[in-house]
Chain A
């Protein structure tokens, strides 16, 4: 009832005057037709593209994907200036990466986020971070990425430019590059914008000894910073919340942080980025994989007050909300404090915290000790979280 209760009360109380409870004053507002449409469950379909530009804005047309002159121009004047590097500039059918000494790690991802741009990032940043982080969680250093873009006709070129800038920026942060790619244009389907697909090749670091079989009761769980921010930032934009400007996606490439931790020799046994399904899903997976229990402490979870209130207002459990720049690490107890100190010196780990530990309680479950000292089970979220009533 949380949210909707407050929401409905917001209506009741704010309209007719009532007790001035500050938190209730944070309510969604309808500012224009678009917000309204976004509200009425067309969430997944909202077109963030067409409304934002003038009619004479240069746009993507079908011929941009046709393989002819127009496509050459798109590549030469928009893609290469932003993403270009020695491998990509050759415009060959594939990229030659050269030999590596460690094991190869290979991963692939698709991105369909709506809206395409959101506080703290956009689909381009997300695509790079998602793939780099998948490699990083395997203990791998990214060698090169591929980027395939499926763009809807009518997408403004300046939007594409901004997204390509983000791709370049995120790849630079991760110290990698787009080595190969593809562009297709599809007819307008009302879906809005574009779909990005990335793949990444990485080289596993010699120090990586990631294996859930090594996990024992007593091992500590560390997260590198505040949780739930990506998912909440997107939801806040979609729903037109007033606090949307304060919530920013945490999308960030974690490979440097992971490389630092592994190269220091800490006894890290497990790394996973809690994206869709949030921390709750990763913890539940961990309990399933190891046959051991997980105990986390609510008061130790790093989360901002804004995020906590936003989650409450949306009726979401922050543990089930997506992150794009967070990593859950399982490390032996002996190394936990040292590793925490090291993490906190890293820009992406300033708010790192030990949030719990592995126990041998039976049956294997994820439990949380709540702020008031109670205990409850933490489960994977079940599908779509519905907006609330009453």
Chain B
């Protein structure tokens, strides 16, 4: 399959630039050494698909603020724990006595609230349309079971508006998108139609196994060679055109679409999911009357450019020097799906990290 890719790319005769939007794709591409199999004129760029990485600093600081309150138990998925905020991370706060629990499912956070009626459990809700239905289900469960000491700091985001924002900004000359598999299970293949129709970019939905990714790339370069921009679902086994309607209804019932702020990308219209008025008591922002502050990104950290595909991690002067998985400066090095973490862990011979002798 890599021969066919090389053959088509050679016939295209120029550099082709494809963005993999999803962090899971990024990690799978690195873990399977797929970059080493691609022709030199096919460039893969990682996109804003790691939920921890795209979360603006102001949410991290809000989570830290909440964790500092005696009556609060902060429940979160693991990756958020180590993201540095203005004053340390949730991990350092936990070490200093804050009650921060890592949960594997938001339902655990609901149970935690049911078990601790005298405390308020705040779940840090990050993620795209994949995790949003689970958050919606949990909020609805808390609502029905009258678990009033549960709430969510919602930083949930929508993928397609971010793709649109990247194309509007025109910073990276993208020929097409390798669209995420899991998000697409929920939102459906047709969600990418505007990208194809309004922006004339090829979109191919692919699974996460290495062969599925290569297949997806093949579909993309074939389109690009033909000068076409089509929507192509190469992951039909899991992704339907219309998506998962039950999950979408759940999102609709609990959230409303809003403008949202992304790390370094600023406010992207229609890209966020805000908790509806009916469920206002489960919205941590309203419940604690929290004002999100300004974003103070760590000095020197270029995660903002990494998530937009503007630079590759080794172009950041902190990468693998001050910023490593052990001592991460920015979220892209913390998160298991972060682009910097993938480069650091699985680089290929010849990339700057891999060429350095081990300490």
Q: Which residues of A contact B (CB under 8 A)?
A: 1-2, 4-13, 15-19, 21, 28, 30, 36, 39-41, 239, 284, 287-288, 315, 317, 361, 363-365, 367-377, 379, 382-383, 386-390
B128 cross-chain contacts in A, Cβ below 8 A: 390
The reply to whether B244 and A18 form a contact with Cβ atoms under 8 Å apart is: yes
Q: Which residue of chain A has the shortest Cβ distance to B240 in the bound complex?
A: A19
- Asked if B72 is at the interface of the complex by the 8 Å CB criterion, the answer is no
Q: Which residue of B lies closest to A373 (CB)?
A: B37
Whole-angstrom distance from the CB of A20 to the nearest CB of chain B?
Answer: 10
Q: Is B137 an interface residue (CB 8 A)?
A: yes
CB contact between B101 and one of A2, A28, A40 (< 8 Å): that residue: A40
Residues 331 to 359 of chain B near chain A (Cβ within 8 Å): 335-337, 344-349, 354-355, 357-358
With a cutoff of 8 Å between Cβ atoms, the chain B residues found around residue A19 in the complex are 185, 237-238, 240, 244
In the complex, what distance in Å separates the CA atom of A242 from the CA atom of B28? 25
Contact at A2–B208, with CB atoms within 8 Å? Answer: yes
Chain B's closest residue to A389 (CB) is B77
How distant is the Cα of A39 from the Cα of B354 in the complex, in angstroms?
36
Query: Across the interface, do B107 and A374 meet the contact criterion of CB distance under 8 Å?
Result: no
CB-defined interface of B14-25 with A at 8 Å, one 1/0 digit per residue? Answer: 000000001110
Provide the bound-state CA to CA distance between A182 and B34, in Å.
54
Closest to A239 in B: B104
| A7 CB, min distance to chain B CBs, angstroms | 6
Query: Residues of B contacting A368 with CB < 8 Å?
Result: 33
Are A377 and B347 closer than 8 Å at their CB atoms? yes
B104 touches which of A28, A317, A365, A372 (Cβ 8 Å): A28
Known: A365-B349, A372-B37. A39 touches B108 (CB 8 A): yes
What are the residues of chain A within 8 A of B80 when measuring CB–CB? 389
Question: Min CB distance, A344 to chain B, in Å?
Answer: 29
Minimal beta-carbon separation of A78 from chain B (angstroms): 38
Q: Taking CB as reference atom, which chain A residue is nearest B346?
A: A376
- Pull 6 A–B residue pairs with CB atoms less than 8 Å apart, ordered by A: A15-B133, A16-B246, A18-B185, A370-B34, A371-B32, A382-B326
- CB nearest neighbor in A for B100: A41
Measured CB to CB, the nearest residue on chain B to A2 is B24
Known: A12-B244, A18-B244, A389-B52. A315 touches B210 (CB 8 A): no
B35 at interface by CB-CB < 8 Å: yes
Residue in contact with B105 in the complex, picked from A7, A287, A383, CB distance below 8 Å: A7
Q: Which residues of chain B (22-44) have a CB below 8 Å from chain A?
A: 22-24, 27-28, 30-37
Show the binding face of B for A, using Cβ within 8 Å. 2, 22-24, 27-28, 30-37, 49-52, 76-82, 101-108, 111-112, 126-128, 130-131, 133-134, 137, 182, 185-186, 208, 210-211, 214, 237-238, 240, 244, 246-247, 250, 324-326, 335-337, 344-349, 354-355, 357-358
Q: A12-B134, A386-B81 are in contact. Are A370 and B210 (CB under 8 A)?
A: yes
Known: A374-B35, A390-B131. 7 other contacts (CB 8 A): A2-B24, A15-B133, A16-B246, A18-B246, A376-B348, A383-B325, A388-B336
Chain B residues contacting A389 (CB-CB under 8 Å) are 51-52, 76-80, 126-127, 131, 335
Smallest CB separation, A14 vs chain B (Å): 10
> A40 — which chain B residues lie within 8 A by C-beta?
101-103, 108, 112
- In the complex, the answer to whether A8 meets B24 with C-beta atoms within 8 Å is no
- Tell me, in angstroms, the Cα distance from A315 to B344 when the chains sit together: 16
A12→B133 contact, CB < 8 A: yes
CB–CB B324/A382 < 8 A: yes
Chain A residues, CB < 8 A from B49: 1
Taking CB as reference atom, which chain B residue is nearest A361?
B349
B137 engages A1 (CB within 8 Å)? no
A30 to B110, CA, bound (A): 13
- Kindly list chain A residues whose C-beta atoms are within 8 Å of the C-beta of B347: 376-377
Least CB distance from A103 to B in Å reads 31
Instruction: Indicate if the CB atoms of B104 and A9 lie closer than 8 Å.
Output: no
Contacts of B31 on A, CB cut-off 8 Å? 317, 370, 376
Distance of A8 Cα from B101 Cα, bound (Å):
17
Chain B nearest CB from A1 CB (Å) reads 3
Instruction: For A1, list chain B residues within 8 Å (CB).
Output: 22-24, 27, 49-50, 182, 336-337
Complex CA distance for A376 and B35, rounded to whole angstroms: 9
Collect the chain B residues with CB atoms within 8 Å of residue A390's CB: 23, 50-52, 77, 126-128, 130-131, 337
Closest A-chain residue to B210, C-beta based? A372
What separation, in Å, do the CA atoms of A388 and B37 have in the docked complex?
A: 28
Residues from chain B with a CB closer than 8 A to the CB of A373 are 2, 33, 37
Minimum CB–CB distance for A308 against chain B, Å: 12
Contact of B81 with A376 in the complex, beta carbons under 8 Å: no
Which of B32, B131, B325, B337 is close to A12, meaning CB atoms less than 8 Å apart? B131
The 3 closest A-B pairs by CB, nearest first: A374-B33, A389-B77, A1-B24
Specify which of A16, A379, A383 lies most central, judged by the most chain B CB atoms within 10 Å of its CB: A16
B212 to chain A, nearest CB (A): 10
Min distance, Cβ B231 to any Cβ of chain A, angstroms: 19
CA distance A17 to B131 in the complex (A): 15
Question: A122 to nearest B CB, angstroms?
Answer: 26
Q: Are the CB atoms of A2 and B354 closer together than 8 Å?
A: no
A353 → chain B closest CB, angstroms: 20
B326 touches A39 (CB 8 A): no
The residue from A12, A315, A382, A383 contacting B130, defined by CB atoms under 8 A apart: A12
* Known contacts A19-B238, A372-B34, A390-B126: A5-B107 contact under CB 8 Å: no
CB distance from B244 to the nearest CB of A (A): 5
Q: How far is A159 from B346 in the complex, measured between Cα atoms in Å?
A: 43
Given contacts A16-B250, A367-B349, contact A8 B131 (CB under 8 A): yes
Contacts of A382 in B (CB 8 A): 324-326, 345
**In whole Å, how far is B333's beta carbon from the nearest beta carbon of chain A?**
10
B130 in contact with A39 (CB, 8 Å)? no
Pick the residue among B24, B101, B240, B246 that contacts A5 (CB under 8 A).
Answer: B24
Q: How far is the CA of A390 from the CA of B182 in the complex (A)?
A: 10
On whether A376 and B108 interact (CB within 8 A), knowing A13-B185, A284-B358, A367-B349, the answer reads no
Closest to B211 in A: A372
Given the complex, which residues of A lie within 8 Å of B27, measured CB to CB?
A: 1-2
